[in-house]
Amino acid sequence: MKTISENTCFDGTQGVYSHASTACDGDMTFGLFLPAEAKEEKVPLLWFLSGLTCTHENAMTKAAAQGWAAEHGIALVFPDTSPRGEGVADHDDFDLGQGAGFYVNATQDPWAKHYKMWDYIADELPALLAEKFAIDPERQGITGHSMGGHGALTLAMTLPGRYRSVSAFSPISNPIDSDWGRKQFTAYLGEDESTWAKHDASKLMLEKGFDGPILIDTGTKDQFIDLLRPETLADAISKRRQQATFRLQPGYDHSYFFVSTFIEDHIAFHAEALWS
């Protein structure tokens, strides 16, 4: 593992690190905020999975999350959204290839060699973090934005016991019925749609649900709301009788100005679960 940068931030450390990833067969970069408490003891960890086009850097610099994480003594990890670099397959569209890993393990060429974001987020990166940093693997929560909200919800429902709490900002909620999903799943997973359902938050909600609290925020003026399909997830939450807070925020759009407005709520929500 290589240290790219470390900046003091809210009396803790905002670091950026890279490492050779087995899952993604190449170097991966992530941001990690450690609160001051991590100098003395292991701290809870909140995952922030980012959306289309993002690297590890966007949420790290724009979500205004560190101050609230510091207040609650929680670490934040900001993984990249795909493998990157020369030799890694890519596509001219912004919503396919690099920056658009969709948190799945690709099985189709040319993606299968590097695009194993599920394994990376579910297995490899958490193991690395627990080994190298003062992180308590027994206390993890997960959140994300847009494609990252999809990742957070699907990981949380698929790995019961892993995360104590899950939240999302404007998540892609029903990708198997959206152009943000069908296109990427076809490319990464192939034409057989039976392989897609385990990556659809609304489907997973009906089938499994989540053993813990859920918080979801979407803006009423989100310019991509037709692609996000929050109504399908709201329906599934209701049918499942899932413990959840599902909010539509008046006037907000899809931007980080929306995320930064409500990040305080989300971190407080996770803190309650992580410190209980």
Supply the residues annotated as catalytic.
146, 222, 254
**Candidate list 39, 132, 221, 247; residue touching a copy of itself; CB under 8 A:** 221
Distance CA(139)–CA(273), nearest Å, equals: 9
Nearest to 147 by CA among 46, 252, 50, 248: 50
255 binds a copy of itself (CB under 8 A): yes
Site string for a copy of itself, 43-72 (x = CB under 8 A): ------------------xx-x-xx-----
Q: Which stretch binds a copy of itself (CB under 8 A): 1-9, 38-46, 93-101, 268-276?
A: 1-9
Classify strands 12-21 and 26-34 as parallel, antiparallel or unpaired: antiparallel
Site string for a copy of itself, 142-171 (x = CB under 8 A): ------------------------------
Q: Which residues, at least 6 apart from 133, have a Cβ–Cβ distance to it below 8 Å?
A: 32, 34, 38, 75
Residue 102 or 256: the one with the smaller Cβ distance to a copy of itself is 256
251 binds a copy of itself (CB under 8 A): yes
**Candidate list 30, 48, 133, 252; residue touching a copy of itself; CB under 8 A:** 252
**Ranges within 5-44 binding a copy of itself (CB under 8 A):** 7-11, 14
Distance CA(139)–CA(185), nearest Å, equals: 31
Give 236-242 contacts, CB < 8 A, sequence gap 24+: 236/201, 236/202, 236/203, 236/205, 236/206, 237/205, 239/206, 240/205, 240/206, 240/209, 242/205, 242/209, 242/210, 242/214
For the CB of residue 31, give the shortest distance to a copy of itself in the complex, in Å. 11
257 binds a copy of itself (CB under 8 A): yes
Q: Could you tell me if 75 and 272 are in contact, meaning their C-beta atoms sit under 8 angstroms apart? A: no
And the tokens for 70?
Answer: 């510091």
Q: Could you tell me if 175 and 124 are in contact, meaning their C-beta atoms sit under 8 angstroms apart? A: no
Q: Which stretch binds a copy of itself (CB under 8 A): 99-107, 119-127, 194-202, 259-267?
A: 259-267
Contact residues: a copy of itself, CB under 8 A: 7-11, 14, 61-62, 64, 66-67, 219, 221, 251-253, 255-258, 260-261, 264
